[in-house]
Amino acid sequence: MRKQTKHYWLLRLPTCHMQPLWDMQGMLLHTLGVVGGAATGVICYAMLLIIRVQPWWHAQYFIPTLGMILGNCISGVSVGLSSVMEELTTGESAGLWHIPP
């Protein structure tokens, strides 16, 4: 049995930065555009119509709200992008979309 070191989290650092298995030209710009557009729309809606803080850019409310929105948006986009890229490369369920006449 190995003794667990105090800095065991250093061993996991390479898994934090993983390259996607599939890539397409312009994928980074498209992903940044989707995340930026969605986060901008939701943060404007949340700060101006729901929370209604004056001024709306007050850091006590804006930074935590933006962090929650970006975290949710990034996780959703990564799951969706992973599924789409896997489907486009493998094409395993192509027969499921065929509707007989």
Residue 7 covered by a domain: no
Peptide bond into 100 cis (omega under 30): no
The length of the chain is 101
Q: CA 29, CA 26: separation in Å to the nearest integer? A: 5
* Ranges under pLDDT 50 in the chain: 1-3
Output the pLDDT for position 44: 92
Is position 93 within any domain? no
pTM above 0.85, yes or no: no
Range of the domain at 56: 41-69
Residue 68 is predicted with a pLDDT of: 94
pLDDT tens-digit series, residues 4-20: 556 555 555 555 555 66
Q: Which long-range contacts (CB under 8 A, 24 or more apart) does 25-30 make?
A: 27/81
Q: Is residue 47 part of a domain?
A: yes
**So what's the pLDDT on residue 9?**
53
Number of structural domains, the chain? 1
pLDDT of amino acid 71? 92
49 in a structural domain: yes
Structural domain contains residue 16: no
